Amino acid sequence: MLTRKFSLEVPRPRPGDNLADTERCLAALPFKDVETTLSALRHLPETLRRGNWRVTVTLGARTGGGWRLLAVEPGDTTASHWGVALDGGTTTLAASLVDLKTGEVKVTSSGLNRQIEVAEDLLTRLQLSGEPEGRERLIRLFRESVNWLLQELAFQAAISSQEITALAFSGNTAMTHFFLGLDPSRLCQEPYLPVVNRPGYHRNNEGLHLALHPEAVIYCLPSVGSYLGGDALAGILVSGIHRQEAVSLLVDIGTNAEIVLGNREWLIAAAGAAGPALEGGVMAAGMRAAPGVIERIRVDPITGAIDYHPPKGKVKGLCGSAVVDLLAGLLLAGIIDRAGRFTGERDYLEIVPASATATGEPLILSQQDVKNFIRTKGAVTAAVETLMGAVGIRPQELEYFLVAGAFGEHMDVEAAVTLGLYPDLPRERLLALGNTSLAGARLALLAQEARQELEDLSQRITYVELNASKEFMDRFTGGQFFPHTDLSLYPTVRQRLLTLGLLKE
Amino acid sequence: MLTRKFSLEVPRPRPGDNLADTERCLAALPFKDVETTLSALRHLPETLRRGNWRVTVTLGARTGGGWRLLAVEPGDTTASHWGVALDGGTTTLAASLVDLKTGEVKVTSSGLNRQIEVAEDLLTRLQLSGEPEGRERLIRLFRESVNWLLQELAFQAAISSQEITALAFSGNTAMTHFFLGLDPSRLCQEPYLPVVNRPGYHRNNEGLHLALHPEAVIYCLPSVGSYLGGDALAGILVSGIHRQEAVSLLVDIGTNAEIVLGNREWLIAAAGAAGPALEGGVMAAGMRAAPGVIERIRVDPITGAIDYHPPKGKVKGLCGSAVVDLLAGLLLAGIIDRAGRFTGERDYLEIVPASATATGEPLILSQQDVKNFIRTKGAVTAAVETLMGAVGIRPQELEYFLVAGAFGEHMDVEAAVTLGLYPDLPRERLLALGNTSLAGARLALLAQEARQELEDLSQRITYVELNASKEFMDRFTGGQFFPHTDLSLYPTVRQRLLTLGLLKE
């Protein structure tokens, strides 16, 4: 736990027992050298007497161990002990209100990162943050996004957000900087140095102004460096690949893609922009499920007919999983070829007729949309292969291919293998882990051991700079094929293409 | 030291060395698990580059050990490292600006406690602090008094008060509460419980609003209880009686009197109001040396003529040491008797003629003035004797009789013995220690060992409640004699009275 609550029966003062109020409380705790907080001491005498010498003490974790007296309440309030796990993404923030008494999630919610008002892409935000004015604005927008979400959680759980005494934050390195009010502008300037990789424990009243208890403990998951943040370490922690003997690979494809390969003895990682390739065009912004967004598409491999479960209201776009469904279906229907080109005469395809869309224009898949997608896919494949090549591991040798993040969560595994996004392994070795950033934040919120593991991980991982790698560039250029240039790596896809007559022996 | 400064040559980032700015700094320090402060991290990247990777780091002590990163400055600023030792008295505040590089005092200054505007006496202030409004006002006045003094020190040393990163506060328990913004009202209500006895380490930005660096470390000397505060422990620390084999006695006579008796094996203490007995009447407020205040008086034992060194300007009153001179002189001249009564017909004495006083009225010593004094003297004597009686120590067995505070500093030892304020020991065993509260605060500012000694002392001392003691009341009633009812305890005074014909064998 980041915070612990103790219900105390404080011995009443008697003649000859003139312990001061504070020492009287502290003596009833199982810890020594508890740091006191003046805001707590200011209310302590009144609280002790109002509670008739039964009070509940909240302690917060400190950097380097030990505890801090964070609050004292009259009576036994241990039934109400709240913490928040927060995943602060470039586009979306997700948070869970956790009942620290049981460790259970009471409510989870999400919201947009309001920094999007300033710029959709991270690079522009980092550049703007080089100037104090831009930085202040971005920090403020991020704080507003977080506070909106905290208020939302509190509202849904019918508590006051001031009752929340602990928060664990997981995000990429840039978002961690914005969250802490630090200057992230050097993250995009050589030699790409963060202000801090292991921020550890802070207090809300260190100028963070979060909608939490003023003395709340804030723990930020550590980063490895500019391009590998707390969210990636959360992924490792949740996946457990760092504890296993067999080698596994973990990918998280969002605005950026992070890839980690290894086992309990070694871990190497790479990261890079997955780019806007998966956004725009047929894609609804943020790839999130929302009203008007198609989540699933089926293409008949014989007739090429497109079928989808109509969303509520007019169609606004496709979410990521539907794009993968669509492209895999079009490949198997022979409407696009393995290089992503439309076969025959057409250079676009109508997915949704004008009559069914929100704009009144038909929803179109253009040649450029497919090219964008295949570039992204090529980048991810190249990164994965470069990393595996660096340690001489072949795809078949992977124990697990694990996919973190919303992208993997709703993805049809067969479609992803067909396009070459996932390797062609036995399907039980392809696993989607969901929002591991949020799950990792929750573990960090609940257990000191988890936080220690994260701190250790942050110093254990070897980061591989892909942009500096000629091998990566070669693989990237050569790898823009569905599912791969080398079909022997995709035996089940090859078999299906053969069966459908799209490939000759 | 409460704070330490380190000049660091931080390794410049190079390709392959992508340590974050913070970890790059911390790695150059000889400590692990240093707690970071967001305000320091916010300026760190700019500071590192402005200083061309040479920076000076200030670390502050934490409760329970370890260090906190408090500030980072460009270049080598170790030459400028300032702390303040502060003695916060009921009437007067005194403070020293200490060069933490050398431990030397750069400048010392003092000022009035502005709470006097509300009430001269402590009890009234404590009662007023039971209401939030009164409390807030008294806390604000105390803070203003402290901040005025801090600004004064900074002005005299030609530095900014923001450069001061450490402060050690010594005061009685009530002043320590006001200083920390805590409610002291229960100090005067049974069972006399402080909010806190061992406040330990705090940060200026915990709402203290002191004219110091915002992240400055504030250490408050611990108290034993409501009536025995950090100033008394400072006295013990400075006197060293707690380290010696022989038994010594330490008294501090101010608005309150605190008495400590013991050695390295045991320490017992008592405290009580010395009362307004030494104030008012012929006394100038606060007993402080000031323009118009007579500091020394001589009474001719044969003629009874009063002689004093005229102060600058018109006479406003006498300071404490002059009152003691005067009464001892009047006793030896036979103008007052051992019970404090004027002999002969008179019931008052003109000390300064109307022509020489600021008011244009003669300065008068009334019978009531002498009665007030003898009551105070009786109370101090009774307290000392009760404490010694409790452990079966006789005055002659004392190794040292030590006097702390301004009262003892300017006192004529012979006059004090003549009146029975001090015991009749060989004079080399009667020592005045000066302002031990300030000296003790300076030790606490400079050495962790001193702070540890104070924390240990606060738990080692047995406090004796005098008001509950029948013996004290008996001694108090019977003890209102100059120098004592039992003259055998005062052989040199007895001899002098005999010589002057004021006593018959």
pLDDT recorded at residue B465 = 82
Residue ending a domain, choose from A74, A101, A123 = A74
Cα-based distances in Å from A119 to A114, A257, A496: 9, 19, 43
Nearest-neighbour CA in chain A from B15: distance (Å)? 7
A314 located within any domain = no
Average of pLDDT values for A460-478?
A: 84
A208 located within any domain = yes
A64 located within any domain = yes
3-state helix, strand, coil in chain A (%, to 5): 40, 25, 35
Average of pLDDT values for A360-388?
A: 89
- Pair (B284, B419) in one structural domain: yes
Residues B495-500: contacts with CB under 8 Å, at least 24 apart? B496/B332, B496/B418, B497/B332, B500/B301, B500/B332, B500/B334
| Total domains in the fold of chain A | 2
- Pair (B368, B302) in one structural domain: yes
* Residue B71 touches partner A, C-beta closer than 8 Å: no
C-beta atoms of B20 and A45 within 8 A: no
* Chain B residue at shortest CA distance from A215: B206
> A19 — phi, psi (to 5°)?
-55, 140
Task: List the structure tokens of A488.
Answer: 């022997």
pLDDT recorded at residue B346 = 87
| A225 interaction partners in chain B (CB closer than 8 Å) | 18, 20
User: What pairing do the DSSP bridges indicate for beta strands A297-299 and A306-308?
Assistant: antiparallel
- Pair (B215, B227) in one structural domain: no
* Residue B39 touches partner A, C-beta closer than 8 Å: yes
CA distance B288 to A275: 76
Nearest-neighbour CA in chain A from B187: distance (Å)? 10
pLDDT recorded at residue A16 = 75
Residue ending a domain, choose from A24, A41, A74 = A74
A112 located within any domain = yes
- Pair (A33, A137) in one structural domain: no
pLDDT recorded at residue A465 = 82
Name the nearest CA neighbour of A38 among B176, B193, B69.
Answer: B176
pLDDT digits (tens, 9 = 90+) for A141-168: 999 999 999 999 999 999 999 999 999 9
The domain spanning residue A146 has which CATH number?
A: 3.30.420.480
Nearest-neighbour CA in chain B from A472: distance (Å)? 19
Average of pLDDT values for A428-433?
A: 95
| More confident call, A134 vs A91 | A134
The domain spanning residue A20 has which CATH number?
A: 3.10.20.880
C-beta atoms of B202 and A38 within 8 A: yes
Closest partner residue to A206 (CB to CB) among B21, B38, B201 is B38
| B200 interaction partners in chain A (CB closer than 8 Å) | 35-36
| B180 interaction partners in chain A (CB closer than 8 Å) | 38, 41
pLDDT recorded at residue B289 = 61
- Pair (B419, B484) in one structural domain: yes
Nearest-neighbour CA in chain A from B416: distance (Å)? 35
- Pair (B387, B291) in one structural domain: yes
Task: Say what the pTM is.
Answer: 0.91
- Pair (A7, A23) in one structural domain: yes
A145 located within any domain = yes
Nearest-neighbour CA in chain A from B197: distance (Å)? 6
Evaluate whether B284 touches B365 at the Cβ level (below 8 Å).
no
Evaluate whether A330 touches A287 at the Cβ level (below 8 Å).
no
**Local confidence band at A393 (pLDDT 50, 70, 90 cut-offs):** very high
* Residue B457 touches partner A, C-beta closer than 8 Å: no
CA distance A128 to B456: 54
- Pair (B168, B242) in one structural domain: no
Nearest-neighbour CA in chain B from A245: distance (Å)? 28
* Residue B34 touches partner A, C-beta closer than 8 Å: yes
Question: Which candidate in A21, A202, A208, A226 is best for mutational testing of the B interface (most B CBs within 10 A)?
Answer: A21
Cα-based distances in Å from A199 to A65, A218, A229, B36, B285: 14, 10, 12, 7, 54
C-beta atoms of B200 and A35 within 8 A: yes
- Pair (B121, B199) in one structural domain: yes
A69 located within any domain = yes
Q: Which of residues 156-215 of B touch A (CB under 8 A)?
A: 180-183, 186, 191-202, 206-208
- Which positions of chain B have pLDDT values less than 70? 273-289
CA distance B342 to B387: 32
| A186 interaction partners in chain B (CB closer than 8 Å) | 45
Cα-based distances in Å from A378 to A3, A328, A338, A474, B203: 45, 15, 12, 11, 53
pLDDT digits (tens, 9 = 90+) for B263-310: 999 999 998 765 544 544 556 544 456 788 888 999 999 999 999 988
- Pair (A93, A210) in one structural domain: yes
* Residue A70 touches partner B, C-beta closer than 8 Å: no
A18 located within any domain = yes
| A41 interaction partners in chain B (CB closer than 8 Å) | 180, 182, 195-196, 199
| B271 interaction partners in chain A (CB closer than 8 Å) | none
- Pair (A34, A151) in one structural domain: no
Residue ending a domain, choose from B74, B95, B129 = B74
Average of pLDDT values for A18-27?
A: 93
A17 located within any domain = yes
- Pair (B118, B53) in one structural domain: no
Q: Which residue has the tokens 């505007």?
A: B117
The answer on pLDDT for A284 being more than 80 is no
| A191 interaction partners in chain B (CB closer than 8 Å) | 13-15, 17-18
pLDDT recorded at residue A180 = 98
Q: Which of residues 260-289 of A touch B (CB under 8 A)?
A: none
* Residue B136 touches partner A, C-beta closer than 8 Å: no
ipTM of the complex: 0.89
Task: List the structure tokens of A164.
Answer: 């929340």
pLDDT recorded at residue B286 = 43
Nearest-neighbour CA in chain B from A98: distance (Å)? 26
Range of the structural domain that residue A30 is part of? 3-74
pLDDT recorded at residue A165 = 98
Query: If 0-12 CB within 10 Å is exposed, 13-18 middle and 19+ buried, where does residue B432 land?
Result: middle
